[in-house]
């Protein structure tokens, strides 16, 4: 059974068309209209091995916030849809990823219960302007939007980091690697990996 999803979301603030394949090879085609976000979502697809296509536009003349948020919402919804009843997946996974001086750890539980804990980012990171358009605060907002709409528990911890670009990229790549293993089929899992019988 194909674990794929395609979602189109249009509002007065943005237009998003997104397709993904959980059992892909990390092939990406990303155009969010926000250059640094393109870079981050490309890394997310590449390192999760999730094939990912995104075409998005919005009122970026006002602020990139709406477009960035809506892409994250749609990615979370597509992830949830493609996972189906979550039968046979590994469910839990963690990854620690370095990028030069930055080091980020992501731990995920494909639990059906959204929860996010982010810690360790240096003071002032939220105000950093990355790539001319993308503020550091958007990194956490993207993580929260994905987790809430995918129904996953995410702990993101920055263990070290100074450069805002490196911090953001390490966090996106850590999430990608954790998702890769959490959504992966586990041949030893029979049915849904929960004592409740559902996720």
pLDDT single digits (tens) 139-156:
999 999 999 999 999 999
- pLDDT tens for 77-91 read 999 999 999 999 999
Return d(Cα 183, Cα 151) in angstroms, integer: 13
Return d(Cα 85, Cα 13) in angstroms, integer: 32
- In this prediction, residues 45-50 reach a mean pLDDT of 98
Of the pLDDT bands very low, low, confident and very high (cuts 50, 70, 90), residue 1 is confident
pLDDT at 92: 98
DSSP H or E segment with residue 103 = strand 102-109
Name residues whose C-beta falls within 8 Å of residue 43's C-beta, 6 or more positions apart in sequence.
169, 172, 173, 176
Could you tell me the fold of the domain covering 4-182?
Ribosomal Protein S5; domain 2 (3.30.230)
Torsion of CA 6, 40, 128, 178, to 10 degrees: 90
Of the pLDDT bands very low, low, confident and very high (cuts 50, 70, 90), residue 167 is very high
Its sign, for the CA torsion 65, 8, 54, 186, is positive
pLDDT at 51: 98
- In this prediction, residues 103-115 reach a mean pLDDT of 98
Torsion of CA 98, 159, 124, 139, to 10 degrees: 60
Torsion of CA 89, 155, 54, 44, to 10 degrees: -80
Q: What is the DSSP letter of 199?
A: -
Segments making up each domain of the chain, as ranges: 4-182
- In this prediction, residues 153-176 reach a mean pLDDT of 98
- Mean per-residue pLDDT over the chain, rounded: 97
Whether the predicted pLDDT of 114 surpasses 80? yes
- pLDDT tens for 118-133 read 999 999 999 999 999 9
**What DSSP assignment string belongs to 136-184?**
THHHHHHHHHHHHHHT-EEEEEEEE--SHHHHHHHHHHHHHHHHHHHSS
- In this prediction, residues 132-141 reach a mean pLDDT of 96
* Other Cβ atoms within 10 Å of 54 Cβ, number: 24
Q: What is the DSSP letter of 59?
A: -
Residue 90 backbone class (left: φ over 0; alpha: ψ -120 to 50; beta: rest):
alpha
Whether the predicted pLDDT of 182 surpasses 90? yes
pLDDT at 128: 97
Its sign, for the CA torsion 45, 46, 51, 55, is positive
Q: pTM for this one?
A: 0.97
């Amino acid at each position: 059974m194909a674990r794929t999803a395609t979602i189109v979301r249009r509002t007065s603030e943005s237009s998003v068309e997104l397709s993904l394949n959980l059992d892909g090879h990390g092939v990406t085609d990303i155009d969010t209209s926000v250059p640094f976000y393109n870079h981050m979502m490309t890394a997310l697809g590449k390192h999760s091995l999730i094939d990912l296509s995104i075409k998005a536009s919005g009122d970026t003349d006002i602020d990139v916030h709406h477009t960035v948020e809506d892409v994250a919402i749609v990615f979370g919804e597509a992830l949830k849809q493609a996972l189906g009843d979550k039968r046979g997946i590994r469910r839990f996974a963690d990854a620690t990823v370095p990028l030069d001086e930055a080091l980020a750890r992501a731990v995920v539980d494909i639990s059906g219960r959204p929860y996010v804990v982010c810690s360790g980012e240096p003071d002032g990171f939220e105000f950093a302007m990355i790539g001319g358009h993308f503020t550091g605060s958007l990194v956490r907002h993207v993580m929260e939007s994905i987790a809430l709409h995918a129904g996953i528990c995410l702990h993101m911890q920055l263990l070290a980091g100074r450069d805002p670009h490196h911090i953001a990229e390490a966090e996106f790549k850590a999430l990608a690697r954790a998702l890769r293993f959490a959504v992966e089929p586990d041949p030893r899992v029979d049915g849904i990996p929960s004592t409740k019988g559902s996720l």
